[in-house]
Amino acid sequence: MTSKIYQKNATIIDNFRINGGYYKLILATPEIADRIIPGQFVHIRINDKTDPLLRRPFSVHRVIKNKGKFNKGQIEILYGIVGRGTEILSKVSPKKKLDILGPLGNGFKIGSEYSTHILIAGGMGVAPLMFLAERLSKAKAKNPKQKIVVLIGAQTKRKIFCEKEFKKLGCDIRISTDDGSNGFKGRVTSQLTQILPLFKNQASMIYACGPEAMHRALALIARQNNIRAQISLETYMACGFGVCMGCTTNTSGGYKLVCKDGPVFDANDIVWPQN
């Protein structure tokens, strides 16, 4: 099924540096803000030049819904400078417009039948999970027995984001850093293994976004513990809407497109490349 995709010139409300060398981009785009779900992404044309040529995909960090004439829907994007595209983007000033396509792809499936939701963020992977936590906490308001646990892993303290925001939503939050400067010292997946016994007798669902190594480790842990895990993959893309066939990933059901069949997949379905 192809659902409606919008191509819009979205006004930049703000685009600013936060800590850890990361940035926040806020765009006014009511059609997309009203429809996008956690884990879906938008495809942004950084400028109107031919270099860099391709759009850049970004997951949505938060959504401010459309509330009429003076309160237009907005989306918030959390990004880091990973290459030339994001470097150019970081210098674009507010009030300018960006050509944006979205909502794209398939987002996280919220398992309302699960009592414990475990969110696992590696580095920038926290970006789509904030949006997911907001939706989960709304579901939790109706069903207070539900628990939202958030594990955030990063290289160092400075690169931990959204701790306060997750707390505000009533999430049980655990931090891990590679250098031990905050919370558990080690990988976020090691911390997961450590705390999993706490949720042994509860129906749990894992939602994760992070680097490939984290996804691989997580897929294994999920399988060993018989827990379902959804992971949001990241890859190079050209079109972003299922036409160019460029962003293929291998799954147990054959090649799938990250842009259209994903970016969220069941961790169990992914066939990881051999290194």
Partner 1 sequence: MNTAISLGTLRLKNPVLVASGTFGYAEEFKNLIKVERLGALVTKTITLCPRQGNLPPRIAETPSGMLNSIGLENKGLDNFIKEKLPHLKKLDTPIVVSIAGESLNEYAELAKKLSLKGISALELNLSCPNIKAAKIKNQRGTLISQDASATYKVIKAVRRSTKKTIIAKLTPNVGDISLIARAAEDAGADSISLVNTFLAMSIDIKSKKPKLANITGGLSGPAIKPIALRMVWEVARAVKIPVVGCGGIMTASDAIEFIIAGARAVQIGTANFVNPKAATDIILGIKDYMRINKITNINKLIGSLKV
Binding-site ranges for partner 1 (CB under 8 A): 2, 4-5, 7, 45, 50-55, 99, 101, 235-250, 254-255, 273
Least gap, CB of 1 to partner 1 (angstroms): 10
Which one, 41 or 184, has the nearer CB to partner 1? 41
Measured distance CA(102)–CA(33) in Å, rounded:
9
Least gap, CB of 46 to partner 1 (angstroms): 11
Which one, 16 or 255, has the nearer CB to partner 1? 255
Secondary structure of 83-137 as H, E, C letters: CHHHHHHHCCCCCCEEEEEEEECECCCCCCCCCEEEEEEEHHHHHHHHHHHHHHH
Which residues are registered as beta bridge partners of 148? Answer: 117
Start-end of H helices in the chain: 30-35, 84-90, 126-142, 163-168, 188-195, 212-224
Give me the residue label for tokens 């480790």.
217
Encoded amino acid at 223, one letter: R
Which residues are registered as beta bridge partners of 116? Answer: 147, 204
Query: Residue 213: exposed, middle, or buried by beta-carbon count in 10 A (0-12, 13-18, 19+)?
Result: exposed
Which one, 99 or 178, has the nearer CB to partner 1? 99
Contacts of 259 (CB under 8 A, 6+ apart): 57, 104, 105, 237, 239, 240, 241, 242, 247
Least gap, CB of 122 to partner 1 (angstroms): 20
Least gap, CB of 55 to partner 1 (angstroms): 7
Least gap, CB of 229 to partner 1 (angstroms): 21
Which one, 139 or 238, has the nearer CB to partner 1? 238
Measured distance CA(210)–CA(120) in Å, rounded:
8
Which one, 14 or 87, has the nearer CB to partner 1? 87
Which one, 56 or 187, has the nearer CB to partner 1? 56
Which one, 248 or 268, has the nearer CB to partner 1? 248
Least gap, CB of 52 to partner 1 (angstroms): 6
Least gap, CB of 250 to partner 1 (angstroms): 7
